[in-house]
Structure 1
Amino acid sequence: MKITNKKLIKGFSLFLTIVFTACNSDDTNITEDDSIIYDDDTYFLVADQQNNEAHLINYEGEELFNWDLNGALGNDINLLSDGSLIVCLKANNASFTYGGYGGIFKKINADQSIDWEITYSTDDYTAHHDVEYLSNGNIIFPVWSELSITEAREEGFAANYNLNPESIIEMNPLTQEIVWEWHSMDHIIQDYDNTKNNYGVVADNPNKIDVNYNYQTRNDGDIMHINGLTLDEDNDLLYLTVNNYSEVWVLDHSTTTLEASGNTGGNYGLGGDLIYRFGNPETYDNVGDSTLNNVHYPNLLETGNMLVYANSVYTNQSEVVEYELTPPYQLIAGQDNEPNVVWSFTNSNLYSSGLSSAVRMDNGNTLIAEGRDGTLWEVTPEGDIEWLYKTQYATIWRTYVFNSDSPAITALGL
């Protein structure tokens, strides 16, 4: 790999820390040219978990805008075109406190006033990780709930602990009406106990979720751990990154809630069953190469391809993977259903066991946020590292890119 200092940053000592670390890698070459000027038209929105803040910074690391969240950051932040920020915050006394828990959603206007605030956390459920703001004004987010050991056993779950399955909720934030929902437990398969519900052959049911896929390697009920979602509104497809299954699930969002509880109906005819999945065919006893091992952020690009951050594809090394997606999809038992990998990037110094993101920039480069190191990487299509910056934030959920002329930036008065 080659690193070129395209941008000269103010925090140059921070930059050198990363550069010297990178020099230890045999595949990294560095050239320095302090005369090159940074690009002042590109801004980075950083979800700073360490300090429970959201920052808008430039290439120099200067903070241009900061939001008063008035709460502990759950995970996600979304900057809208009107300059408002939708943020996930941690609910006090949440029932489920796995990594990424939240339970509160808040919309903060550009002037820091609060537009609305919602709590979605009770003794029975807690929202977590991610929230997407849809064009119809609704929000959509994942939720943990709980089944007792006895209840889970009746569904064919093999482990001796309570189960915390995933659901997806779409809500009108102004009325707090739930307008659509999907529950993973309506779509499971198990080959553990033929006297219990959902018994069948996993390999013959690629559209179902094997509830016992990883129970032997876990000691808690968070067996799935959805940590990101993206809705393709053109095709009405919902993409979910499922960390503990190391794959991406695709749901038919065109279904009604009733259809989403079964296996018929919707544009794709499968109800709420998975219409596609990729990254780890081992989850449904299928053929094909696994390309993910833990995963964050299903970032659907304008091209229709998808970027994901694969946290642990190699030993202590992450990878960003771009998949070619071609809906409508088919899942065929015993057939390689994996999409083509059209681009990827890894480096011996790139590693975060959790968090992290990758976004495609207008210049064609990819901006990578190394979550548990607080480092930003800008990588060219050829795999050269064009910018490498150790931020002052030790833990980053994600980082998004904005241009200076975007409506959101204009609305902030910058």
Structure 2
Amino acid sequence: MVINLKHKTPFLLAVILSLFLFNACNDDDDIFTSDDDISDDLVDGSTVNDDYTVGLILNTADAYNGYTLFSPIRSTTTYLIDNCGEVVQTWPSEYTPQSVYLLENGNLLHTGTLDAVNSEFEQAGGQTGRVELISPEGEVLWYYEVNSSTEFMHHDVEYIESSGNVMVMVWEKLTADVVEAAGRSNATELWTEKILEINPTTDTIVWEWDAMDHLVQDENPTASNYGVVADNPQLLDFNYTYEDSDYALDWLHNNSIDYNETLDQIVISSRNFNEFWIIDHSTTTAEAASHQGGNHGVGGDILYRWGNPQVYDMGDDDDQMLFVQHDANWIPSDYTDGDQIMVFNNQTGYHENVDYSTIDVIDTQVGADGSYELNESGIFGPDYFTWTYEAEERTDFYGANISGARRLPNGNTIICEGTTGTFFEVNYEGDIVWKYINPVDETGAVDQYSTPNRNFVFRCDKYAPDFPGLAYYDLTAEGTLESGSDYTCTITD
């Protein structure tokens, strides 16, 4: 099916202005690069708006035919657009977001930014405080808040389709006495990271994991967690400190969570450890606080970690592969590179003092029983990535923080370079086949040829036309967000 759309009438939508400030917050070894400039050598039917400053820049027949979901960090509205850059659905909220997700039942899972009861929690970036479910009609069906003097919700959330439960990420502020007793040298107040799983029907916490239950350190022999760090890769070195942490109290700065229902495991991205961790979700809360129980017998200890073995006293700078990464997520089993982990590697050029980013895929080499093995060097493999995207001129692609990437059913990858609000899709060879720039900044939707100011987007995702949640919506194209766009676009199904 071919649909021809002529963009003449802009989509008019009132956008409530945000008052919150954003804080910065296998064997193939394939590396694919692409020139960030739009090629003139495109197939017939492509839309090329390379003189535009916002909205649709490129659409080709090689783009995956789907709907892109995004919610600007400084807007209270979430948008769903088609491949021609036209709005097909919006959701209102009273709160500006970090992550948002469309669910199979048609509801929108939306984080909301609150004024923190303890203003310290606004220093590290990524603060939220609230998660809510919004119906197709725009009604808030449920919400939950974690916002106190000692706890605050942040960054990402995860919905478990089989149970309807919601996982949230929470900072907890610890006193200096608690931190010292746990063996940290030069102890001060510090934040730990918790995961809470909430049942929206009962508003109860049904499962919990706390990083403080999984520590090792080799500096204070009087503490119960004293041990050899390199001998305990399943634990977190409590005296490891990332020298470029944005906020000293925020020791770990976890920034994403994803759940694999087949494995019943969770992957967590830790910015300040420059690695992601996989933990067992099959435990009870009591087991998750221990080193025993669950499908793998280790309680809430780390099953697998990757990105920077220096944090468990192994390897050196040459072994560090991830740099303040975001959005660690499992690629679905039936997709290209299925069951592997994709990340947005924000500051790949860290050791070279060059600002550029990459998208990387890691084969965790998971066993049939969901287990993971250290290699002969005592490090979790692999040695390198399965697949990497970087720009031909690598500094043309860079997101210092936020941002994300997801593999699509046809093998393409949708990328959100969040600091410029730029979404683009690349095929497996690394060619850009679709590109869009978020036109919504803190003033609302800007006119075409204007330059948006701080049009940040935490992350975007693209949904297949047959995604169950889309069946609840009409999906009629209503025009572009920005005024002044005038082009012909073709969507090929």
Fold shared per TM-score above 0.5: yes
Aligned partners of 2:77 and 2:345: how far apart in 1?
A: 25
Give the deviation of 1:102 after TM superposition.
1.2
Which stretch shifts more, 184-193 or 388-397?
388-397
Aligned partners of 1:68 and 1:398: how far apart in 2?
A: 18
Give the deviation of 1:334 after TM superposition.
4.2
Aligned partners of 1:185 and 1:16: how far apart in 2?
A: 45
Aligned to 1:85: 108
- Specify which of 323, 339, 345 is matched with residue 310 of structure 1: 345
Matched, 1:390 2:437: yes
Aligned partners of 2:296 and 2:104: how far apart in 1?
A: 32
For 1:89-113, what per-residue CA distance to the aligned partner results, in whole angstroms no more than 9, with x for missing partners? 1223343223111111111000111
For 1:134-181, what per-residue CA distance to the aligned partner results, in whole angstroms no more than 9, with x for missing partners? 020101111100111222111112245311010111110121111111
Give the deviation of 1:405 after TM superposition.
3.1
Q: Kindly indicate whether the alpha-carbon contact (under 8 Å) linking 1:206 and 1:333 is maintained by their aligned counterparts in 2.
A: no
SS of residue paired to 2:360: strand
Q: Kindly indicate whether the alpha-carbon contact (under 8 Å) linking 1:255 and 1:266 is maintained by their aligned counterparts in 2.
A: yes
SS of residue paired to 1:150: helix
Give the deviation of 1:12 after TM superposition.
4.7
- Specify which of 108, 111, 114 is matched with residue 137 of structure 2: 111
What letter is aligned with 2:70?
Answer: V
Give the deviation of 1:313 after TM superposition.
1.0
SS of residue paired to 2:272: helix
Aligned to 1:336: 379
Aligned partners of 1:168 and 1:368: how far apart in 2?
A: 26
Aligned partners of 2:329 and 2:459: how far apart in 1?
A: 11
What letter is aligned with 1:356?
Answer: S
Matched, 1:142 2:169: yes
Q: Kindly indicate whether the alpha-carbon contact (under 8 Å) linking 2:415 and 2:424 is maintained by their aligned counterparts in 1.
A: yes
What letter is aligned with 2:293?
Answer: G
Normalising by the residue count of structure 1, what TM-score does the alignment of the two structures yield?
0.90
Give the deviation of 1:226 after TM superposition.
1.0
SS of residue paired to 1:338: coil
Which stretch shifts more, 53-62 or 179-188?
53-62
Aligned partners of 2:424 and 2:65: how far apart in 1?
A: 17
SS of residue paired to 1:221: coil
Q: Kindly indicate whether the alpha-carbon contact (under 8 Å) linking 1:15 and 1:389 is maintained by their aligned counterparts in 2.
A: no
Aligned partners of 2:93 and 2:86: how far apart in 1?
A: 19
Matched, 1:258 2:286: yes
Aligned partners of 2:326 and 2:176: how far apart in 1?
A: 29
Change (3 A) 1:51 1:9: farther
For structure 1, which runs of at least 5 residues remain unmatched after alignment? 20-31
Q: Kindly indicate whether the alpha-carbon contact (under 8 Å) linking 2:258 and 2:329 is maintained by their aligned counterparts in 1.
A: yes
For the aligned residues, what is the CA RMSD? 2.4
SS of residue paired to 2:197: strand
Aligned partners of 1:300 and 1:236: how far apart in 2?
A: 12
Q: Kindly indicate whether the alpha-carbon contact (under 8 Å) linking 1:263 and 1:270 is maintained by their aligned counterparts in 2.
A: yes
Q: Kindly indicate whether the alpha-carbon contact (under 8 Å) linking 1:297 and 1:357 is maintained by their aligned counterparts in 2.
A: yes
Aligned partners of 1:259 and 1:45: how far apart in 2?
A: 37
Q: Kindly indicate whether the alpha-carbon contact (under 8 Å) linking 1:158 and 1:212 is maintained by their aligned counterparts in 2.
A: yes
Aligned partners of 2:273 and 2:218: how far apart in 1?
A: 17
Matched, 1:291 2:321: yes
Matched, 1:345 2:368: no
Aligned to 1:189: 216
Aligned partners of 1:192 and 1:241: how far apart in 2?
A: 26
What letter is aligned with 1:243?
Answer: R
Q: Kindly indicate whether the alpha-carbon contact (under 8 Å) linking 2:49 and 2:56 is maintained by their aligned counterparts in 1.
A: no
- Specify which of 359, 374, 379 is matched with residue 320 of structure 1: 359
Change (3 A) 1:40 1:318: closer
What letter is aligned with 1:316?
Answer: D
Matched, 1:226 2:254: yes
Change (3 A) 1:376 1:112: same
- Specify which of 55, 63, 66 is matched with residue 79 of structure 2: 55
Change (3 A) 1:127 1:333: farther
Q: Kindly indicate whether the alpha-carbon contact (under 8 Å) linking 2:55 and 2:439 is maintained by their aligned counterparts in 1.
A: no
Aligned to 2:21: none
SS of residue paired to 1:152: helix
For 1:283-331, what per-residue CA distance to the aligned partner results, in whole angstroms no more than 9, with x for missing partners? 1011382210011112211221111101101121011001113321124
SS of residue paired to 2:343: strand
Change (3 A) 1:188 1:333: farther
What letter is aligned with 2:380?
Answer: N
Q: Kindly indicate whether the alpha-carbon contact (under 8 Å) linking 2:425 and 2:435 is maintained by their aligned counterparts in 1.
A: yes
What letter is aligned with 2:228?
Answer: V
Aligned partners of 1:163 and 1:90: how far apart in 2?
A: 22
Which stretch shifts more, 220-229 or 36-45?
36-45
For structure 2, which runs of at least 5 residues remain unmatched after alignment? 1-33, 333-337, 441-454, 476-493
Aligned residues with identical type, % of pairs: 32
For 1:168-223, what per-residue CA distance to the aligned partner results, in whole angstroms no more than 9, with x for missing partners? 11110121111111110011111222233422211111111011211655452111
SS of residue paired to 2:379: coil
What letter is aligned with 1:78?
Answer: Y
Which stretch shifts more, 37-46 or 261-270?
37-46
Aligned to 1:14: 52
Aligned partners of 1:331 and 1:185: how far apart in 2?
A: 23
For 1:315-371, what per-residue CA distance to the aligned partner results, in whole angstroms no more than 9, with x for missing partners? 210110011133211246942312352100112211111111111122211111001
Matched, 1:400 2:458: no
Q: Kindly indicate whether the alpha-carbon contact (under 8 Å) linking 2:64 and 2:408 is maintained by their aligned counterparts in 1.
A: no
Aligned partners of 2:362 and 2:243: how far apart in 1?
A: 30
Q: Kindly indicate whether the alpha-carbon contact (under 8 Å) linking 1:207 and 1:331 is maintained by their aligned counterparts in 2.
A: no
Give the deviation of 1:8 after TM superposition.
4.1
